[in-house]
Structure 1
Amino acid sequence: MFNKKNGLLSVEEGGEPVISIITNDFDDGDCYINEKDLKEDLPILPLRNTVIFPGTSMPISIARKKSLKLIKAVNRQKGKYVGLVCQKEAENEDPDMNDLYSIGVIGEIIRVIELPDDENVTVIFQGKKRFRLTELTQADPYLKGHFEIKETTPVQKADTEYKALMDSIRDLMIQMLRMYGEPPKEFIQRLKSDLVSPLLVNYCCANLPVSGAEKQSLLDVDDDKERAYRLLVVLNRETQMMEMKLNIQMKTREELNQQQKEYFLQQQIKTIQDELGGNPQQADVDDLWLRAEKKKWSGDVAKVFEKEIHKLERLHPQSPDYSTQFTYLETLLDLPWGEYTKDNFNLKNAQKVLDQDHFGLEKVKERIIEHLAVLKLKGDLKSPIICLYGPPGVGKTSLGKSIAKALNRNYVRVSFGGLHDESEIRGHRRTYIGAMPGRIIQNIQKVGSSNPVFVLDEIDKIGNDFKGDPSSALLEVLDPEQNFAFHDNYLNIDYDLSKVMFIATANNLSTISQPLLDRMELIDVSGYIIEEKVEIARRHLIPKQLENHGLNKDVIEIPKKTLEKIVENYTRESGVRELDKKVAKIMRKVARKVASEEVYKKIMEVEDLHEYLGAVEYTRDQYQGNGYAGVVTGLAWTSVGGEILFIETSLSKGKGGKLTLTGNLGDVMKESAVLALEYIRSHNNVLSIDEKVFDNWNVHVHVPEGAIPKDGPSAGITMITSLASAFTQRKVKANLAMTGEITLRGKVLPVGGIREKILAAKRAGIKEIILCKENRKNIEEIKPLYLKGLTFHYVDDITQVLDIALLKEKVKHPLNLDIKEEKQEKGN
C-alpha cells in the first residue's frame, strides 16, 4: 500500500517487503558505477521474492547470518557495491549457484539502519547495473562470485512508438496506484515529468504486485523497448484483475451492509414487540403446544411432534426453514388423528336415502346395506374398496354423496383424471420447495374426520410418465391389509386409512392395472332403459332444474310421453347427463316466457318439443326389415351404452373371389370377417353352395356409419349370417339380432356388455336375440322388466345360428349364382 508519510509504495512479496523509493526525477546518473571500486569477485546477497531494478532504491531487511556478515564487511569498504540476486526458492536458507537466478543487479549501499532492540538490519540499496553471475568463488563467511556487466540496448530518442508506449505505462501505473489509495500529488507529478526514460520502466517493474519469478523475467530482457512492451502487458492484466477484485468487494460490502441493516431493524422490532407484550414467535409456539394437548394421537406421533416443535424453537423467525417447519407442524395438528364420525346403523333410513337420491342401481344399494348390517353386528369392520364402473352419466359419482348421507359420514371427492405424478398421491418430501402432502392426506385434513366416504373419481384415467406411476402408489391406499399404516412422504408418519370408505369410479376397466383391480370390489353400474330415464327425469332432473332456474313446479308440466320422446329423439346415451341438459334447455325457455309474461302452454305435449328443443337430433336405430339378402342386425357395446349395427354383404362377379371390408373396422373385426368367409368356404356343402361360386364372385362386407371406429370379436356370428345369407340369397328372420364370437371350428363364444346390448335391441324394436349359451348367466342377472318382449336363443355352434336366422324363403330378385346353368346358357 502507499504510505503518505514517507512516499513509499510497499507491496508484500512472500516474506520480505518490496519498497521502491523515488528521490528525484528519473536520471541516468542514478545508474553510474565507479568501476575502480569493483573487485574481481563481487559479494553476492541472495534475496527472497524481491527483485531490484537499475535506478531504483529499495529497503531490504537483512536477517540471515551470512547476509549480516556481508553487510558489515562491505560497509567498511570504500566502494559499497553488492550483487543483489533473487533466489528461485524463497524457503532455501543457504542457496548455492543452482538456487540463484543468473541475472542480478549491482546495488550500492546507501544507508544501514540498525535498531537497538532488533536483531535484523535494514539496508537501503540503490540499483546500478545489471550483471550476470558466472560462478560462485566463495561460500563462507558470505557468498562471492565472478560476474560480467550486462548492458541494455537503448531506444532511439526519436522513436514515437516508444513514447506512446511510455504514456500508456504511465497512465496504467497511476491508475493502479490510485486503486491502492490516493498517492501524494508530488508523487504523481514526478511520474508524469519523465517522458521516455528507461528508468521509469524499471521503477514500474520494481513496484508491480506480481511474483518474484515474473519480475525476474522482466529483468532478464536486454532490450529496453521489449521490456516496456512486456511491462505494458503485465500492467493491463493486473489492472483488470484489480478492477474485478474491487467490484467483488463493493458487491460484498453492499450485501453485508444490507444484512446488518436488516439485523438491526429486526432487533428493534423485537424490542418493540417485547415492550408491547411479548414475542410473536413464542406466541405461535405456545399456540401449537395448546392445540397438541387436545389431540388424540398415538405416542409415536406425539414424540415426532415434540421433536419437530423443539427444532422450530431453535430456528430464527426470518430463516427460510422456519416457515417450512411451522407449516409442517400445522399440518400435523390439522389432521383428525383418531377422530371419527358416528355411523348411522338405521338400515331402513339408509335404504330410504339411497332410494330418494337414485332410481334403480339395485346392486350398489344392496352392497351398501350389507356393509351397514355387518358393521352394526360386528361393531368394527375394515371398510371395503368399492369400484363402480359403467358408462358416463349413470350416477356413479353422485352415489358417493348418497352413501355418505346414508352412513352419516363426511363426504370428500378427488378426481384422478389426467393425474400423472406419483407425488400427488404420496406427497412431496419436505426437502423440496413448496412441498405439501398428497391428495389423500390433504382431503382427510380438509374433511376433518378419519372415516369419511372418499370418492376416487375417474380412476381409469390415471396416466404415468417419468415422475412415476400414480396407480402403483394407489395400491397401498386401496389395500385393506396395508392402508392402516399409509405412509405420506410429507408427513413421514404412518396414518390410518382403514376406516375410510373408498369408492372408486371408472368408465373402462381395461385401462386399470390388474393389481389395482384385484384390491377393489367391482360393481357394474349399467345404463338405464327408457322407463328408468323417464322416472329419473320426473323425480330428480325436473325438480332440480326448476329450482336452478327460479321456477315453481306449477309453471310447467312435462308428461311421461313427452319425456319418452325427449329420451328417444334428443339424447343418445346410457346415462342421463344429456337428458339433464335438455331439461335445462326447456327450463331456460320457460323462464324467458315467464319473465316476459308471455302466454304459453303449461302442459308440454310431444308436438311442442320442436319449439323448445329444435329439430329431432337422433332417430332411433330401427330394424330395417329383411327384404335384402346379406343384411343382418348385430349388437355392439360402446362407452355410452349399447347400439345395434347392420352388417351388409353384397356379391359382384369377378375372378379370384376378392374380399373387401369397409366401414372403419378394427383389426379384430376384420379378422372376424376373414374367419367367417373361411368357415363358409369350408362348410359350403352344409349350406348347399357351389364351391365355384367363391372363385367367380367378389365379396364386399360393409358396416354403415363409416366415420365411427368399430372393433371387437362380438360381431363374429353376425358376419357369418350375413355372408351365408348373401351366398344362399335366403332371407334373414325378421326382428332378429345377434352377438357372439366365432372360432374356425364353428364354436360360438361368449361376449360382454350384454345388458347394454339388450337395451339397444329393445330401443330398436328387436324381438329375438341369439346369444352364446354361456351368456345365459348374464341374462339371469338382468331384471325381468328389461327382458319383457324379448325371446332369447342360446347356441354353442354356428350351424344353430344359421338354422335360426336363415329362412327357406329367398329374397325377391335373387342373384343367379348357379354356375352350371350359366355354362349351359353359354353353350346354347
Structure 2
Amino acid sequence: MSEEQIPDQLTDDAVMPVLPLRDVVVYPHMVIPLFVGREKSIKALDVAMSSNKQILLVAQKNAEVDEPDTEQVHTIGTVSTILQLLKLPDGTIKVLVEGVDRARVVHYLEEEDFLRARVSLLESDTSAEDERELEVMARSVTNLFEQYVKLNKKIPPEVLTSLAGIDDPTHLADTIAAHMSLKLDEKQYVLEIGDVRKRLEHLVKLIEGELDVLQIEKRLRGRVKQQMEKSQREYYLNEQMKAIQKELGELEEAPNEVDELADKIEKVGMSKEAKKKATTELNKLKMMSPMSAEATVVRNYIDWLVGVPWKKKSKVRKDLAAAERILEEDHYGLHKVKERIIEYLAVQQRVRKPKGPILCLVGPPGVGKTSIGKSIARATCRKFTRMSLGGVHDEAEIRGHRRTYIGSLPGKIVQNLSKVGVRNPLFLLDEIDKMAMDFRGDPASAMLEVLDPEQNPACND
C-alpha cells in the first residue's frame, strides 16, 4: 500500500481508492446498490471500509474490459460514501453507496492490488445574479421532466414527488439526469459539466429530444392498438356469425372452404388487380350464408379465378431441326405449309417475345389443318387445346356470361386454359368460318378482340 494515508474527512486534493464501474454512472446525492466481483474492486472496498468509507466511483470507457488500467477509465467521477456492504455466498459483494461530490483524478498512485488516486473536488460557483436565472431554468427542466415521466412508463411517478422537495438546482439536475434513460456516454458528459447553468441547458435539450422520440412511439403504439382492436372486433363478429349459422344448421364445411380459397388466392400467383378483386369477393363470401344463391355465384367466380393458370407454363422447345422432323413424320407433302411453319418458328426463336403469335390455316375439310396444329404443339412441347367455333352464335361463348345469371360461366377461351392447366398452350380455333350471327350478338366481332395483336393483351372475360 501507499505510504499516504486516507483522511478521515473528505477534503480537496485527497487520496482515496478508486472503483471502476461498468455501464453505470453515479451522480452526487444518488443512492444505488452495486454488485462487485473483481478482486481489485473488492480490495478497494475493503480499504475504504477500514478508513472513512469514502471511495471514488468512475465509469469505464469500455465495459467489456475485465482489468481496466488508468487509461481505460474516465478522469471525472463521483466521490461516494459506502452506506452498507454485504458479502454474498458466491463471493461477490453487494454494496450500497451514496454519491457526495464530483471529483477529478489528479493522478493515480502506484498500487498493485487496486486503483488509488489523488482527487480534486469540482465546485460549481454560482453568483447571486445567476440564482434567479437558475431558478427559472430549474422550473423549466422540472416541467419538461414531468411530461417525460408521463410518457415513459419505466420511471415511477413517485420520482416527481421527491423532485418537489429539492430546491438546490445542482441537486435537481443530478437527480433528473440519474432517472433518465440515456446512453453511458451521455450520462458521463452530464457528470463532467461543472457549470450548473450549462448542465440544466443540456438537460433541456436531452429531455426535448427524448420527448420527441416518446411522442413518436406513443403514436405508433396507438396506431398498432387501433389495428389490433379492429382485427379482434372483426374476428369476434365472424366467430359470432359462425356460431349463429351453426345454430341455424347452415354451417357445414364453409369455414374450411373459405380458408382453402384464401390460401389458393395467395399461392396461385395472380396479377395485382385480379388478387384485389378475388380478396374482395372472398370477404363478401365470408359474410354470406353458404346456402344462399348469391354465395354460390361468388364461390363459382372465385373458383374460376383460382383455377386459371396464372403463372404455370410449359417449357417451349426451340429446336428447328427436331420440329421439321416431327412435321415430316406426321404429314406427307404439304411442303409450303411446313416451310411456312418452320419460318414462323425461326422468327419466334429470334424474337424473344413476338407480338401476336397467330397463324391462319386455310383449306377444305380433311386436308389436315387440325392435325398440323397438333404437330406444331408436339414439335414445340406445348400443350394442345382445341376450340370448335362451328355453330357458335352467342358472343357470351367467347367473352363469358354476366355473373348475375345462375350457372354463369367464363368464355370458352378461359375454360380451355383452365382445362389445359398452362398459360402458353397451342390454342386451335377450329372452323372459325362456321360462326353464325343472330339477335343475341355477333360472335365474329367478339373474336376480333381475341385475334387482334393490339387488343388481345387487354382482353377481358
Band of TM-score, shorter chain: 0.5 to 0.7
Of the three residues 129, 132, 138, the one matched with 1:160 is 132
The answer to whether structure 1 residue 256 and structure 2 residue 228 are counterparts is yes
Q: State the alpha-carbon separation in 2 of the partners of residues 216 and 380 from structure 1.
A: 89
Structure with the higher fraction of residues in helix conformation:
2
The answer to whether structure 1 residue 193 and structure 2 residue 176 are counterparts is no
The answer to whether structure 1 residue 96 and structure 2 residue 69 are counterparts is yes
Structure 2 residue matching 1:140: 3-state secondary structure: coil
Partner of 1:410 in structure 2? 393
Structure 2 residue matching 1:497: 3-state secondary structure: strand
Of the three residues 481, 499, 521, the one matched with 2:430 is 499
Of the three residues 188, 208, 223, the one matched with 2:195 is 223
Q: State the alpha-carbon separation in 2 of the partners of residues 441 and 140 from structure 1.
A: 94
- Percent pairwise identity: 20
Deviation digits for residues 104-146 of structure 1 (CA, Å, limit 9, x no counterpart): 111111122444x454322222222222213332453221123
Over 3 Å counting, the alpha-carbon distance change for 1:165 and 1:253 in structure 2 is same
Amino acid across the alignment from 1:44: V
Runs of 5+ unmatched residues, structure 2? 1-6, 269-277, 284-298, 310-361, 374-388, 402-407, 436-443, 446-450, 455-461
Amino acid across the alignment from 2:191: L
Over 3 Å counting, the alpha-carbon distance change for 1:184 and 1:310 in structure 2 is closer
Q: Is the 8 A contact 1:97 1:135 kept in 2?
A: no
Of the three residues 143, 146, 150, the one matched with 1:171 is 143
Amino acid across the alignment from 2:63: A
Higher relative contact order (CA 8 A, sep 6+): 2
Structure 1 residue matching 2:428: 3-state secondary structure: coil
Partner of 1:48 in structure 2? 22
Q: State the alpha-carbon separation in 1 of the partners of residues 258 and 281 from structure 2.
A: 12
Amino acid across the alignment from 1:71: L
Amino acid across the alignment from 1:251: R
- Residues 560-571 of structure 1 mapped to structure 2, 5 A cutoff: none
Amino acid across the alignment from 1:111: Q
CA shift, 1:164, in A, is: 1.3
Question: How much is the aligned-residue C-alpha RMSD, in angstroms?
Answer: 4.7
Partner of 2:183 in structure 1? 211
Q: State the alpha-carbon separation in 1 of the partners of residues 258 and 22 from structure 2.
A: 64
Partner of 1:124 in structure 2? 96
Q: Is the 8 A contact 1:162 1:196 kept in 2?
A: no
Deviation digits for residues 261-311 of structure 1 (CA, Å, limit 9, x no counterpart): 33343344444445524132556799x9xxxxxxxxxxxxxxxxxx96996
Structure 2 residue matching 1:41: 3-state secondary structure: strand
CA shift, 1:219, in A, is: 1.5
The answer to whether structure 1 residue 232 and structure 2 residue 215 are counterparts is no
Q: Is the 8 A contact 1:42 1:145 kept in 2?
A: yes
The answer to whether structure 1 residue 74 and structure 2 residue 57 are counterparts is no
Deviation digits for residues 449-504 of structure 1 (CA, Å, limit 9, x no counterpart): 57xxxxxxxxxxxxxxxxxxxxxxxxxxxxxxxxxx9899x972526233161798
Q: State the alpha-carbon separation in 1 of the partners of residues 111 and 279 from structure 2.
A: 67
Q: Is the 8 A contact 1:165 1:228 kept in 2?
A: yes
Q: Is the 8 A contact 2:281 2:302 kept in 1?
A: no
Partner of 1:84 in structure 2? 57
Structure with max Cα Rg:
1
Partner of 1:149 in structure 2? 121
Over 3 Å counting, the alpha-carbon distance change for 1:42 and 1:274 in structure 2 is same
Structure 2 residue matching 1:256: 3-state secondary structure: helix
Q: Is the 8 A contact 1:382 1:499 kept in 2?
A: no
Structure with the higher fraction of residues in strand conformation:
1
- Residues 337-736 of structure 1 mapped to structure 2, 5 A cutoff: 374-375=364-365, 408-412=391-395, 449=412, 492=423, 494=425, 496-499=427-430, 501=432
Partner of 2:83 in structure 1? 110
Q: Is the 8 A contact 2:18 2:55 kept in 1?
A: yes
Q: Is the 8 A contact 2:398 2:412 kept in 1?
A: no
Q: State the alpha-carbon separation in 1 of the partners of residues 76 and 255 from structure 2.
A: 71
Q: Is the 8 A contact 1:106 1:127 kept in 2?
A: yes
Q: Is the 8 A contact 1:46 1:85 kept in 2?
A: yes
Q: State the alpha-carbon separation in 1 of the partners of residues 155 and 410 from structure 2.
A: 75
Over 3 Å counting, the alpha-carbon distance change for 1:165 and 1:333 in structure 2 is closer
Q: TM-score, normalised by structure 2?
A: 0.59
CA shift, 1:251, in A, is: 2.1
Partner of 1:60 in structure 2? 34
Q: State the alpha-carbon separation in 2 of the partners of residues 52 and 332 from structure 1.
A: 66
Over 3 Å counting, the alpha-carbon distance change for 1:449 and 1:320 in structure 2 is closer
Q: TM-score, normalised by structure 1?
A: 0.35
Q: Is the 8 A contact 1:167 1:195 kept in 2?
A: no
The count of residues paired between Structure 1 and Structure 2 equals 333
CA shift, 1:212, in A, is: 1.2
Deviation digits for residues 185-219 of structure 1 (CA, Å, limit 9, x no counterpart): 87534422334532111111222210111111112
Over 3 Å counting, the alpha-carbon distance change for 1:219 and 1:440 in structure 2 is farther
Amino acid across the alignment from 1:412: E
CA shift, 1:410, in A, is: 2.8
Over 3 Å counting, the alpha-carbon distance change for 1:499 and 1:446 in structure 2 is farther
Structure 2 residue matching 1:84: 3-state secondary structure: strand
Runs of 5+ unmatched residues, structure 1? 1-32, 289-306, 313-318, 336-370, 385-403, 414-438, 451-484, 506-511, 517-828
CA shift, 1:80, in A, is: 0.9
